[in-house]
Chains A and B, each alone.
Chain A
Amino acid sequence: GENVEQHPSTLSVQEGDSAVIKCTYSDSASNYFPWYKQELGKRPQLIIDIRSNVGEKKDQRIAVTLNKTAKHFSLHITETQPEDSAVYFCAASMDTNAGKSTFGDGTTLTVKP
């Protein structure tokens, strides 16, 4: 089955700096890669996703890049703000009816004011 590894497990940055979180996956058939943000005490929520037919997607200060050949994808947050502090999870799946999502172990991001 699919195996997703996520790095780093913790990341601390100064407000205004950029943050990058990386994930690798093992199943070359995976073609859907979402990122979820979980604030303290709350449920995970989707913040951005990418499908394998594109290499990059942006939404304001966040972007995701995908390298299918190397089987890795990354989350980029620019101009970080204290409210970006949370746990971020990557996931991989096939976008078929049988496609089960596999999550990474999460990255705790702390943005220092």
Chain B
Amino acid sequence: GAGVSQSPSNKVTEKGKDVELRCDPISGHTALYWYRQRLGQGLEFLIYFQGNSAPDKSGLPSDRFSAERTGESVSTLTIQRTQQEDSAVYLCASSFGGMRNEQFFGPGTRLTVL
């Protein structure tokens, strides 16, 4: 079956512009995560959605970052007024949650802010 997909795969934008990144999780996965990974660095947790519960936004680095998820399907991560330090790969992952907590990662969106 289809895995986690993300779009776009690459995004180049100018400083100050807004960007929207999309994640399509695996069907049936109730949990969805967004991570930021700078070059050569680890996985920086951004936000976590689990079913209909309020999302865990504790990892969002500033109020320029926001994310939404429609039910248990698509999620979008929006970065407003992008800065050069936002340049990174943004990874989305989904899982069944509960006893099946393995995360399946998407290919990521490489964001470059000029």
Q: What is A's interface to B at a CB cutoff of 8 Å?
A: 1, 32, 34, 36, 43-46, 49, 89, 91, 93, 95-106
Determine the residue in chain B with the shortest Cβ distance to A49: B102
- What total of chain B residues lie within 8 Å of the partner, measured CB to CB? 26
Interface CB pairs A-B, < 8 A, 21: A36-B103, A43-B106, A43-B108, A44-B43, A46-B103, A49-B102, A93-B101, A95-B99, A95-B101, A97-B97, A98-B53, A99-B98, A99-B101, A100-B33, A100-B48, A100-B50, A100-B56, A101-B101, A103-B45, A106-B41, A106-B43
Whether the pair A104, B42 counts as a contact (CB closer than 8 A) is yes
The proximity string for B residues 6-25 relative to A, scoring 1 for CB distances below 8 Å and 0 otherwise, is 00000000000000000000
12 more contacts with CB within 8 A, not counting A91-B103, A106-B41, are A34-B103, A44-B91, A44-B93, A89-B43, A95-B100, A95-B101, A96-B97, A97-B97, A98-B50, A99-B101, A103-B42, A105-B42
The minimal Cβ–Cβ distance linking A99 to chain B, given in whole angstroms, is 6
Report the Cα distance A100→B50, complex, angstroms: 9
Query: Which residues between 50 and 67 of chain B lie within 8 Å of chain A, taking CB atoms?
Result: 50-51, 53, 56, 58
Whether the pair B98, A101 counts as a contact (CB closer than 8 A) is no
B98: A residues at CB distance < 8 A: 95-97, 99
Please count the residue pairs between chain A and chain B whose beta carbons lie under 8 angstroms apart in the complex.
Answer: 57
Whether the pair B105, A45 counts as a contact (CB closer than 8 A) is yes
Q: Does B30 contact A (CB under 8 A)?
A: yes
Chain A binding surface, main DSSP class: loop
Whether the pair A97, B50 counts as a contact (CB closer than 8 A) is yes
Whether the pair A106, B101 counts as a contact (CB closer than 8 A) is no
Query: Which residues between 36 and 82 of chain B lie within 8 Å of chain A, taking CB atoms?
Result: 41-43, 45, 48, 50-51, 53, 56, 58
Residue among A32, A49, A100, A105 with the highest chain B CB neighbour number at 10 A: A100
Whether the pair B105, A44 counts as a contact (CB closer than 8 A) is yes
Determine the residue in chain A with the shortest Cβ distance to B106: A43
The minimal Cβ–Cβ distance linking A2 to chain B, given in whole angstroms, is 11
A46: B residues at CB distance < 8 A: 102-103
The minimal Cβ–Cβ distance linking B94 to chain A, given in whole angstroms, is 12
The minimal Cβ–Cβ distance linking B107 to chain A, given in whole angstroms, is 6
